[in-house]
Amino acid sequence: MNNVEQLLVNEVFEIYNSKDNDYVFIDVREPQEWELGVIPGITKISLGDIHSKLDELDKEKKYIIVCRSGQRSNNASRMMLQSGFKDVSNFQGGMLDWYDSDFPIEK
């Protein structure tokens, strides 16, 4: 139950490009980190706030959780699975890999 699927940068970019409305991307970094650039259109909920926001999220959607390198997002992904979310994946490598790949960002 608590095994979090790990996605690499190219897999995340492919899903992002598919514009599949069943997927929700959540960036769990801190606001000052968001200023460095985020995946366009991403939902921003810092890790410290995510637990209090879970009731506002649709448990039927598919989630890809993002942070700087993949550690905080993995913790958030595990928390979401423990809270009854069915389809939660961690972006392993996080925004560091996204930036290195020169994929689109918004500031």
Report the catalytic residues.
Answer: 67
List CB contacts of 44: < 8 A, sequence separation 6 or more. 26, 27, 29, 31, 34, 38
Q: Quick one: tokens of 24?
A: 């929700």
The dihedral over CA atoms of 84, 58, 51, 11, expressed in degrees to the nearest 10, equals 90
